[in-house]
Amino acid sequence: MVCSREYELIIIGAGPAGLSCALEAARLRIKTLVLDENFRPGGQLFCQTHKFFGSKEHKASIRGFDIAKMLLSEIRKTGYVEVILGATVYGINDGLEVFFAKVDSKLKRLKAKDLILATGAMERSIFFKGWTLPGVMTAGAVQNMMNVDRVLPGKDVLVIGSGNVGLIVAYQLLQAGAEVEAVIEALPKVKGYSVHAAKIRRMGVPIITSYTIKEAVGNNCVSKAIISPVKDSNGRDRELSICCDLICIATGLKPSDELCWQLGLKFRYDAAKGGFIPYHDGNMQTSIEDVYVAGDVSGVEEASTAMEEGRLAAISIGKKRGYLEKEEADRMIADALKNLEDLRL
Amino acid sequence: MRITEHPVLGPIGKRKRLKIFVNGTAIEAYEGETIASAISASGIKTFRVTRRKREPRGIYCYRGRCTDCIMQVDGRPNVRTCITEVKDGMVIYSLDMDSEDGM
């Protein structure tokens, strides 16, 4: 094993939180390394073809993939950030040594003075008969295949879940040329923004509430779905059969928290942010000094909050290590917290 | 199926074409995409078959978490094809053979 080199800051995850954190750290002249197990940086930004909401400071009305390109080019200009892609982190020890490997190389170890976990989120699965059949996929899978790799994984689609992700993926499927048979929702009403729901309804996609999926049917891949009303739906008891070759699961996200658990961070429960999330204070510092979290791993929200949290974590570290004057740091932290508050309204 | 035209992303653009071999059949791939993407675009949905129950598995999460899409790539077993970049001439096999180690 290669002996341990030290970095001022190691960021795990090159999505919106990690990249925005790296950019702020570079501005403060903190020598930073970013690791990501994907071979492309940007995380989920590259599959976001819609324009962002919010104010101008939060890059509103710019599309996700353009934000990713902007962040990457700004980071490259600074010369303070090294990015290693295709690198899976397998563990971190108490001395903040990060163990990682690329698929065709040996395990390497690098020491971090400060560590930021920006590992994002993963989709929450729901389980039903036939859910392992090819053709059942998460919304994130469908989005990345369509919008990044330009492959349409199905022609007739049933979307499960009417949160914003479900509604947006339905719209994006239509844009990509697929038929969306329906969006179904177990709750009695649509969960996501009505502006997104109206958009797909106008294009003829029914949103069926109080229904859930009972079974995915098919020999070697999905050929139809059987959906069933949930118990308390008013008098509706009819199971419906929907012909489709793709069932797209959009039932929420949870933090990708494997490394947090492995490090022994303290957790707390917050149902609205994806369940168990690593405890962190207002500076994004966790229960272990010198370990910070940012983005969806610290509680599932949006890319815009993730970017702000990444910035905040970098500023906190800059303050702690003396890269920033205290007054200047406090002003920047207050500014970032104010932005987060605005975004969460 | 490839999405050649897109109202937001525009036309698919010129990309370098590659050739890979999946279970002995040559399929077309594009530089910069994942192995799973190329395989899916060629119409293949089953990436492997489970050893004991012989159930088909394909792409599920596409972000390296579920491992449903693992295959043998250039002799290396259990490669997550959804987060691995495709390279020209790759030789890929499904992990569905009858031997004990699933290779």
Tens digit of pLDDT for each residue in A155-170? 999 999 999 999 999 9
Residue among A74, A80, A73 at smallest CA distance from A30: A80
Confidence of residue A184 (pLDDT cuts 50, 70, 90): very high
Share of chain A above pLDDT 90, in %: 82
Q: Based on the number of CB atoms within 10 Å of its own CB, is B53 exposed (0-12), middle (13-18) or buried (19 or more)?
A: exposed
Residues 12-41 of B with CB under 8 A from A: 12, 32-34, 37, 40-41
Q: What is the pLDDT of residue B100?
A: 46
| A103, A133, A176 ranked by CB distance to B3: nearest | A176
> B94: how many CB neighbours lie within 10 A of its CB?
20
Query: Is residue B2 within 8 angstroms of chain A, CB to CB?
Result: yes
With contacts defined as CB-CB under 8 Å, which chain A residues touch B82? 141
Q: What is the pLDDT of residue B103?
A: 44
For residue A103, which phi and psi values (nearest 5 degrees)?
-60, -30
Cα angle B86-B88-B91, degrees, rounded to a multiple of 5:
80
CB contact under 8 A, A145 and B57: no
Confidence of residue B102 (pLDDT cuts 50, 70, 90): very low
Q: CB within 8 A of A286, min separation 6: which ones?
A: A117, A260, A265, A266, A278, A279, A280, A292, A293
CB contact under 8 A, B62 and A144: yes
Q: How far is A137 from chain B (nearest CA, A)?
A: 4
Nearest CA in chain A to B80: A103
Stretch (H or E) spanning B80: strand B76-80
Model-level pTM?
Answer: 0.90
Mutate to test the interface with A, among B83, B84, B86, B92 (most CBs of A within 10 A): B83
Q: What is the pLDDT of residue A46?
A: 76
Share of chain A above pLDDT 70, in %: 94
pLDDT digits (tens, 9 = 90+) for A68-77: 888 989 998 9
Residue with tokens 């080199």: A5
Q: How far is B3 from chain A (nearest CA, A)?
A: 5
> A37: how many CB neighbours lie within 10 A of its CB?
23
Identify each DSSP E strand in chain A by its residue range.
5-12, 32-36, 81-85, 87-92, 97-102, 108-117, 121-123, 136-138, 156-160, 179-185, 207-209, 211-217, 224-229, 240-243, 246-249, 253-255, 267-270, 275-278, 291-293
Decide if A121 contacts A300 (C-beta within 8 A): yes
Six-digit token string for A234: 């008013």
pLDDT digits (tens, 9 = 90+) for A253-269: 999 999 999 999 999 99
pLDDT at A225 over 90: yes
pLDDT at B71 over 60: yes
Rounded CA-CA distance A120/B65 in Å is 12
Nearest CA in chain A to B48: A134
Q: What is the mean pLDDT of chain B?
A: 90
- Taking an 8 Å Cβ-Cβ cutoff, which residues of chain A contact chain B? 37-40, 49, 63, 86, 88, 103-104, 122-123, 132-138, 140-141, 144-147, 149-153, 155, 175-177, 220-221, 256
B74: left (phi over 0), alpha (psi -120 to 50) or beta: left
CA distances from A100 to A89, A275, B86 (A): 4, 27, 21
For β-strands B76-80 and A211-217, DSSP reports them as unpaired
* Mean pLDDT (whole number) for A14-43: 94
Nearest CA in chain B to A43: B63
pLDDT at B99 over 90: no
* Mean pLDDT (whole number) for A25-40: 94
pLDDT digits (tens, 9 = 90+) for A281-294: 999 999 999 999 99
CB contact under 8 A, B62 and A141: yes
CB contact under 8 A, B40 and A151: yes
Rounded CA-CA distance A330/A336 in Å is 10
pLDDT at A2 over 60: no
Q: How far is B100 from chain A (nearest CA, A)?
A: 22
CB contact under 8 A, A86 and B85: yes
HSE (CB half, 13 Å, CA atoms) of B52? Answer: 0
CB contact under 8 A, A38 and B64: yes
Q: What is the pLDDT of residue A103?
A: 79
Nearest CA in chain B to A132: B57
Identify the DSSP state of A46: G
Q: State the amino acid at position B74 in one-letter form.
A: D
Confidence of residue A47 (pLDDT cuts 50, 70, 90): confident
pLDDT at B97 over 70: no
Rounded CA-CA distance B83/A40 in Å is 9
> A13: how many CB neighbours lie within 10 A of its CB?
32
For β-strands A224-229 and A211-217, DSSP reports them as antiparallel
Decide if A297 contacts A116 (C-beta within 8 A): no
Query: Is residue B44 within 8 angstroms of chain A, CB to CB?
Result: no
With contacts defined as CB-CB under 8 Å, which chain A residues touch B83? 37-39
Nearest CA in chain B to A37: B83
Confidence of residue A234 (pLDDT cuts 50, 70, 90): low
pLDDT digits (tens, 9 = 90+) for B48-66: 999 888 999 999 999 998 9
Q: What is the pLDDT of residue B101?
A: 47
CB contact under 8 A, A122 and B61: yes
| B8, B41, B76 ranked by CB distance to A49: nearest | B8
Query: Three-state DSSP class for A289?
Result: coil
Q: What is the pLDDT of residue A105?
A: 85
Q: What is the pLDDT of residue A306?
A: 95
Confidence of residue A236 (pLDDT cuts 50, 70, 90): low
| A104, A149, A221 ranked by CB distance to B37: nearest | A149
Rounded CA-CA distance A251/A166 in Å is 8
* Mean pLDDT (whole number) for A201-207: 97
Rounded CA-CA distance A264/A271 in Å is 21
